[in-house]
Chain A
Amino acid sequence: MPLLDIRNLSVSIPTTEGDVHAVRAVSLEIERGEIHGVIGESGCGKTMTGMAALGLAPKGARIVADRFHFDGEDLREHAVRLRGRRIGMIAQDPAAALNPVLSIATQMDDVIRAHRDLPHRARRAEAIDLLASTGLSDPERVLRGYPHQLSGGMQQRVVIAQALATGADFLIADEPTTALDVSVGAQVLALLRKLVTERGLTVLMITHDMDVIAEACDRATVLYAGRSVETGPVDAVLQSPGHPYTRALLAALPDAAPLGARLAAIEGSIPPPRSAIAGCAFATRCPQALHECAVTPPPERSRAVHRWLCHLPEDAA
């Protein structure tokens, strides 16, 4: 049984101008001990999916799903209790996630005290252990410091240590490297990989960066306009993508074209979040679209565990 099991999740937010369909139909199966990448562009619903799993969807949002389970428990009822106990969160900007006026010692202790009944000295030892396990070389010095005295990479390590302090075994990392330099980002990804191996963590990695997916993830799910359109092992998704959107996304990267050549931009734009979509959401922008693409929902195609939704026959992929 997958640790996180989402089938056909939709999150809509009622507004005076009609419902905003932030998530339309997302299915995600995340197995224990994997780093699962969720990739998509602005407005594809990747962050809202993570927020819904944390019980942090906006007030009044309608969450509908065939299945929305974490370790057998329904997230619609238990997300708030699971958050901070089993499910932790790593945000994009570590400087914003830490309180600028409190020392790291205070901020670590707050988290540990909220979750464990330990005497002061043991909590401090625990804080040092946690910081050391995130690769900080001088945890005692870090504890004495304040967020502004740390580099972005060190701050993100402190945030990860805090997430570990809750005892969470599942982390939702929303663009954890976007605010960091490439080399520092690579170190943070290597750290997450190490924690997955050593502590049996499971990570949901939300990103728009194909390099992050290639570098850190085991499997990946591609989101487009609030729908999961393709899922599978990273190598399969990146090397032989099934969905035309995934292909277009990969072709738009500078590494896909010879130096200086024109890039294959995707023409058009995503469907507006308030509109209803009858067929495939990508139909209007798809260079290979068939007549039925705009009318009927696409069927599932697959190659072993690599699955995608498309009207085009499998050999066209």
Chain B
Amino acid sequence: MTTPTLDIDNLVIRYRAGLFAVRPKPAVNGASFRLAKGETLGIVGESGSGKTSLLRAILRLLPAESGQIRLDGQDWLALRGSALRRERQKIGVVLQNPFLSLSPRLTIADILAEPILAQGGRHGAAMRKKIAGLLSDCGLPADFLDRRASELSGGQAQRVAIARALALEPSLLILDEPTSALDVSVQAQILNLLSDLKESRGLSMLFVTHNLKVVAHVSDALLVMRHGDVIEFGRTKEVIGAPADPYTRELLSYGRREKLVEHELAPG
């Protein structure tokens, strides 16, 4: 069996409430799952379910209390200092709002060059070729290189953000609500782009969203979180076809009319 891209075992993340405060319930309560190479794992949950804490721990932006994270077989939580900095290029990140994650002052060419420069790359013909390649892989024409983010539509800006995330050829791409700020027709374009990239680059992806329909469409496997617990983890087809947890069933049912009567006003 090949090494999974991401292998997480019994991960616990807890925020400290203060020196003498009662220890709060962990934000992530013993999560265990695997992401196979070249697959997409969808993570679904409401606000406060722990999905963002989980992502931040994988990015090493948040310490884990206990448990293990392996990225391409490597003990990810053991990395420190410059080794961590070097290895971190294995993960690319795309966030919800591209206009907040792209600098308004830089041209698109500068934005795409930045991660390469940060990892010791040099300006030159090779860099220009690489950047042009990234842009065309993400479905944008080369004349966008001289533009700035403010001249782009939401969908175009998100394509630039994806191109930047791919600049260092990561083995794992983390997408945090990548289409929630976009219109339906643009969302479809971005989802298609992601499935093309997955195909052509053999990318592994973590796709986080609160929209179960979107995530079900793009994911090979699904992880449902609630109040810090992983309540469901399985192949997408199985989870959608036969959700084991009532909460998953409820999530799947929104947007269907007959729900309204049944779903009368649980108190706020």
Instruction: Tell me if B250 and A187 are in contact (CB < 8 A).
Output: no
Residues of B within 8 A of A214 (CB): 255-257
Those of A224-269 within 8 Å (CB) of chain B: 248-249, 252-255, 257, 259-260, 262-266, 269
Chain B residues touching A, majority SS: helix
Min Cβ gap B186→A in Å is 8
Contact with B along A17-36 (1 / 0, CB 8 A): 00000000000000000000
Instruction: Tell me if A41 and B188 are in contact (CB < 8 A).
Output: no
The answer to whether B103 has its CB under 8 Å from any CB of chain A is no
Min Cβ gap B163→A in Å is 18
Min Cβ gap B227→A in Å is 13
Contact with A along B202-216 (1 / 0, CB 8 A): 000000001111101
B contacts with A, residue count (CB < 8 A):
39
Instruction: Tell me if A186 and B47 are in contact (CB < 8 A).
Output: no
Instruction: Tell me if B210 and A211 are in contact (CB < 8 A).
Output: no
| Alpha-carbon distance A187/B183, docked complex (angstroms) | 23
Instruction: Tell me if B267 and A137 are in contact (CB < 8 A).
Output: yes
Instruction: Tell me if A262 and B192 are in contact (CB < 8 A).
Output: yes
| Alpha-carbon distance A185/B255, docked complex (angstroms) | 11
Instruction: Tell me if B185 and A187 are in contact (CB < 8 A).
Output: no
The answer to whether A190 has its CB under 8 Å from any CB of chain B is yes
Instruction: Tell me if B217 and A182 are in contact (CB < 8 A).
Output: no
Min Cβ gap B218→A in Å is 7
Task: Across the interface, name the chain A residue whose C-beta is closest to B262.
Answer: A190
Instruction: Tell me if A42 and B183 are in contact (CB < 8 A).
Output: yes
Instruction: Tell me if B46 and A182 are in contact (CB < 8 A).
Output: yes
| Alpha-carbon distance A315/B251, docked complex (angstroms) | 37
A contacts with B, residue count (CB < 8 A):
44
| Alpha-carbon distance A187/B212, docked complex (angstroms) | 17
Instruction: Tell me if B256 and A137 are in contact (CB < 8 A).
Output: no
| Alpha-carbon distance A259/B218, docked complex (angstroms) | 7
Task: Across the interface, name the chain A residue whose C-beta is closest to B217.
Answer: A254
The answer to whether A91 has its CB under 8 Å from any CB of chain B is no
Query: Which of B184, B211, B213, B236 is the one whose CB lies under 8 Å from A252?
Result: B184
Binding site for B on A (CB under 8 A): 41-42, 134-137, 151-154, 157, 181-187, 189-191, 193-194, 208, 210-211, 214-216, 248-249, 252-255, 257, 259-260, 262-266, 269
Q: Please name 13 further chain A to chain B contacts, defined as beta carbons within 8 Å, in addition to the given A181-B210, A214-B257, A252-B185, sorted by A numbering.
A: A41-B185, A135-B267, A135-B268, A136-B268, A182-B212, A184-B46, A187-B268, A190-B260, A191-B265, A215-B255, A216-B260, A262-B195, A266-B188
Binding site for A on B (CB under 8 A): 46-47, 153-154, 183-189, 191-192, 195, 210-214, 216-218, 236-237, 240, 250-251, 254-257, 259-260, 263-268
